[in-house]
Amino acid sequence: MDSINARSSETVSLAKIAYGFLKLGTIAFGGPAAHIAMMEEEFVRQRGWLTEGEFLDRLATANLIPGPSSTELAIFIGYSKRAWAGLIVAGCCFIFPAAVLVTLIAAAYVRYGALPQMAGMLYAIKPAVIAIIIQALSKLARTAAKTKLLAGIAAAAFLLNLYGLNPLLVLVISGILAGIVGWKKQGSSVGGFFAATNRKWILAGVAAVGTTALAAPVSLNRLFLSFLKIGSVVFGSGYVLLAFLRAEFIAKLHWLTEKQLIDAVAVGQFTPGPVFTTATFIGYLVAGLPGAVVATVGIFLPGFFLVALSGPIVPRLRRSTLFGSVLDGVVAGSLALMAVVCWQLARAAIVDFRTVAIMVVSAITLLRFRINSAWLIAAAAFLGWFVKA
C-alpha cells in the first residue's frame, strides 16, 4: 500500500496517459460497470496512479454529475495526474477508438443495412439488447427504489414519461418531489426548499425542454446543440440516454425512425468504449461523417467541463441531506425512464416467436450466469447471420 501511495503522487507523462486510455477504449467491452472495473485494475492495482480511496472518491463524484459515468471517471483520472492536459488526453483517448469503430459501422449500415445478412444480425441483436436493459433494471431497482417514497416516484415518473412528458422534465419533477420530502423531514417549509435548491439548474432544464418543442430541418448546428443539451442533462446510464434520444430525434425532430434508434442501441452495445457513442452512429445517419464528428463532440463536451467544475463542489454537496434526497429522486426517475425505453424498444424488436425466444434466453443467461453482455451480443449476431442468410 505504501508503494501505491508513493506512485500515486508521481507525475505521469501525457504519452502514458494516452496509451493507457487508448488501450482501455479499444478493449473495454461490457458497459460502464465493466469499464470501471478495468480502470480500477489498470490504474490502481497495475500502474498505481491512484490509491483505492482516491479512485472511489472520483467514482462517487462521476456518479453524481450528468453524463457517462465511466467516461467521466476516465477524465477525472487524467485530470488528477496532469490537470487540464491530462483531462483532455484521457477523455479523448478513451472515446476515440469507439467513435472511429462506430463511424465505420454506421457507414457500412448506411450502405449495406438492407442486405439479408446485416438485417439478420440486427434482427437477433435487438431482442438481446432488450434483455440487457431488463438485466440493468433488475440490478438498479433494488437501489433506486429503496423506499416506498422512491418506488412511488419511480411509478409516477414511468406513467408521466409513458404518456408523453419530456424525460428531462420527468427527472426535474422526480428530484423536486424527493427533495421536498427530505426538506420537510428537516422541519422546513416547501418554500424554503425552492430557495435552497439551485434554481438555475431547474430553469435551465425547463428551458432545455422548451427547445425541443418545434421540429427543424437537419443542420449541423441543430445536431450539435441537441447533443450538447442531452450531454448536459442526462443522469444515469447509457440506457437513460435512449429516452432523451427518442424524445429529441423521433418525437420532436423526426430525424430518426424507431428501427434506426434500436439499431443505434445495438451498435452501442457490441462496440467497446462508452455507450454514448450511440450519438456518433446517429450523427452519421443524419449528416454523414461531419454529423458523426459533431454529434460525438456535442454529447461528450459537457462531461469535460462538468468534471473540471465539480471537483471542489460535489464532495460538499454529497454531505447535504437535502441534496442527497434530490439525487435519490433523480435516480428513481432515471429508473422509470429506462423502463419506458425498454417497453418502447421492445415493441419494435419483439416481432415473432424467434425474437421472443432470443430475448428470454438472453435474459436468463444474463441473470443466471452473469455473462458479459458483449459476448451475448456477439452470439446473437452470429445466430442472426445464419437465421436470415
Residue 114 confidence (pLDDT) = 56
The answer to whether the beta carbons of residues 335 and 145 sit under 8 Å apart is yes
Question: Does the structure show a pLDDT above 70 at 138?
Answer: yes
Q: What is the pLDDT of residue 305?
A: 92
DSSP string, 247-278: IIIIIIS--S-HHHHHHHHHHHHHSSS-GGGH
- Rounded to an integer, the average pLDDT of 120-142 is 79
Share of the chain above pLDDT 70, in %: 81
Are 106 and 284 spatial neighbours (Cβ–Cβ below 8 Å)?
yes
Instruction: Average the pLDDT over 86-106 and give the result.
Output: 94
Residue 239 is predicted with a pLDDT of 62
Q: What is the mean pLDDT of residues 170-179?
A: 87
181-216 confidence digits (pLDDT tens): 878 776 654 444 444 444 444 434 444 444 444 445
More confidently predicted of 264 and 97:
97
Backbone phi, then psi, for 139, in 5-degree steps?
A: -75, -40
Cβ count within 10 A of residue 149: 17
Q: Give me the phi and psi of 28, to 5 degrees please.
A: -80, 75
Question: Across the chain, what does the average pLDDT equal?
Answer: 80
pLDDT average, residue stretch 219-237 = 87
Report, as an integer, the average pLDDT of 246-274.
85
Stretch 100-106: mean pLDDT, rounded? 92
> 104 or 168: which carries more pLDDT confidence?
104
Segment 161-184 mean pLDDT: 84
pLDDT at 388: 62
Q: What pLDDT does 202 receive?
A: 42
**Segment 310-320, tens digit of pLDDT:** 766 765 665 77
Ranges of each domain in the chain:
2-93, 94-387
| The predicted structure's pLDDT at residue 300 | 95
The predicted model gives 73-100 an average pLDDT of 93
> Could you give the CA distance from residue 300 to residue 347 in angstroms, rounded to a whole number?
30
In percent, the amount of the chain with pLDDT more than 90 equals: 27
DSSP state of 206: H
Residue 115 DSSP symbol: S
Cβ atoms 324, 182 nearer than 8 A = yes
pLDDT of residue 117: 61
249 grid coordinates: 430525434
For 341-364, write each residue's pLDDT tens digit: 788 878 888 888 989 999 999 889
Taking the whole predicted model, whether its pTM rises above 0.85 is answered as no
Q: Which of 20-24, 58-62, 84-88, 379-383 has the lowest mean pLDDT?
A: 58-62
Average pLDDT over residues 296-318: 82
